[in-house]
Amino acid sequence: MPFMSKVKLAVLISGGGTNLQAIIDAIAQKKINAEIVCVGSNKPDAYGLERAKKAGIATFFLNYKEAKESFQQEDAWLSYFNEREQATNLSPNNSPFRRMNQEELTSRIIAEKLLLEKLAQFKVDFLVCAGFMKLLTPFFMEQFQPDPLKPRIINIHPALLPAFPGTDGYGDAYSYGTKVHGATVHFVDYGVDSGPIIDQSCYRRLSNESEDSFKSRGLELEWELYVKCLKLLCEKRLKIFRNSSKRIIVEEMPKRKFNPH
Ligand code: GAR
């Protein structure tokens, strides 16, 4: 295989970080040609941060709460980010950013400024959301991935999108009674769980299956799916284009044979 420099990933988490662990392990086993340069969390006590530290990865805390307090104290922020209209225009009709008030939106942007600094500091190529439970604002998206055909933010969602977007994919599907469920890895766009799908994995609900079992079987599928998708991404094997309906589509490209001549 020709020498390819390692892709630099930053991972965002909010919880246990089992997906993060799967990625750390896959990189250690050289299944993904990447390095995780930093891991951030909006929860200072997220166990995923411990996993990162154990692997010798730099960590940081995205303090949304402090951002909100600093917004309340400093009127200057009001004028600095007095561009709610812009966020509204960029967001699809059903986006929560359209309903968010100035204070909430601006606080998020303040927290995201730290994130942008970290991504620049570590020269990050791709931002990997692995159980990160905050939506990234249009301001952040504009700065980190201005070209929708060159997406740089990836997410894993615990449902077969576009079914069951939102914060509780397993719980929603379980109570709905779906017989087939799964997970989706996708690029992030301005909507909620609406970005271009990279790949999906599915499983059947067992008869009389408990919600815990339904979730944990799904989570195990996620680990394999995320590793597979990140491998393709880091090998530059994802073709991204607009189809005739103007929707952005992702297709896997075959592995290129190395020809030294
Ligand atoms: C995973 O199930 C992931 O798909 C989900 O959070 C869990 C994180 O688990 N993400 C979302 O719901 C995003 N909307 P982990 O911390 O053990 O990787």
Distance, in Å, from the CA atom of 23 to the CA atom of 125, rounded to the nearest integer, reads 16
Is residue 2 over pLDDT 80? Answer: no
User: 3 alpha carbon to ligand 1 midpoint, in Å?
Assistant: 33
User: 33 alpha carbon to ligand 1 midpoint, in Å?
Assistant: 23
The answer, yes or no, to whether any atom of ligand 1 lies below 6 A from the CB of 18, is yes
The answer, yes or no, to whether any atom of ligand 1 lies below 6 A from the CB of 188, is no
Q: What are phi and psi of 223, to 5 degrees?
A: -60, -45
User: 1 alpha carbon to ligand 1 midpoint, in Å?
Assistant: 33
Instruction: Catalogue the active-site residues.
Output: 157
The answer, yes or no, to whether any atom of ligand 1 lies below 6 A from the CB of 21, is no
Confidence band of 95 (pLDDT split at 50, 70, 90): confident
* % of the chain residues with pLDDT over 90: 75
**Residue 33 in contact with residue 148, Cβ under 8 Å?**
no
Give me the pLDDT at residue 85, please.
Answer: 59
- Count CA atoms closer than 13 A to 195's CA, side-chain side: 27
Give me the pLDDT at residue 117, please.
Answer: 94
Is residue 1 over pLDDT 80? Answer: no
Give me the pLDDT at residue 97, please.
Answer: 80
**pLDDT per position as a tens digit, 164-202:** 999 999 999 999 999 999 999 999 999 999 999 999 999
Radius of gyration of the chain (CA): 19
* Mean pLDDT value of segment 7-19: 98
Is residue 259 over pLDDT 70? Answer: no
Give me the pLDDT at residue 88, please.
Answer: 64
Give me the pLDDT at residue 261, please.
Answer: 59
Which range (36-50, 69-83, 119-133, 224-238) has the least confidence?
Answer: 69-83
**Residue 205 in contact with residue 173, Cβ under 8 Å?**
no
Give me the pLDDT at residue 256, please.
Answer: 78
**pLDDT per position as a tens digit, 102-160:** 778 888 888 898 899 999 999 999 999 999 999 999 889 989 999 999 999 999 999 99
Is residue 86 over pLDDT 80? Answer: no
The answer, yes or no, to whether any atom of ligand 1 lies below 6 A from the CB of 107, is no
Closest CA to 94 of 166, 171, 158, 176: 166
Is the pTM value of this prediction over 0.85?
A: yes
Neighbours of 50 (CB within 10 A): 13
Kindly state the tokens that stand for 137. 């604002």
User: Quick one: 203 exposed, middle or buried, by C-beta within 10 A (0-12, 13-18, 19+)?
Assistant: middle
Confidence band of 59 (pLDDT split at 50, 70, 90): very high
Is residue 84 over pLDDT 70? Answer: no
Confidence band of 3 (pLDDT split at 50, 70, 90): low
| Secondary structure string (H, E, C) spanning the chain | CCCCCCEEEEEEECCCCHHHHHHHHHHHCCCCCEEEEEEEECCCCCHHHHHHHHCCCEEEECCHHHHHHHHHHCCHHHHHCCCHHHHHHHCCCCCHHHHCCHHHHHHHHHHHHHHHHHHHHCCCCEEEECCCCCCCCHHHHHHHCCCCCCCCEEEEECCCCCCCCCCCHHHHHHHHCCCEEEEEEEECCCCCCCCCEEEEEEEECCCCCCHHHHHHHHHHHHHHHHHHHHHHHHCCCEEEEECCCCCEEEEECCCCCCCCC
Kindly state the tokens that stand for 169. 């994919």
Is residue 11 over pLDDT 70? Answer: yes
| Best probe residue, ligand 1, of 24, 203, 219, 230 (max atoms within 8 Å of C-beta) | 219
The answer, yes or no, to whether any atom of ligand 1 lies below 6 A from the CB of 173, is no
Give me the pLDDT at residue 60, please.
Answer: 97
Give me the pLDDT at residue 83, please.
Answer: 55
User: 18 alpha carbon to ligand 1 midpoint, in Å?
Assistant: 8
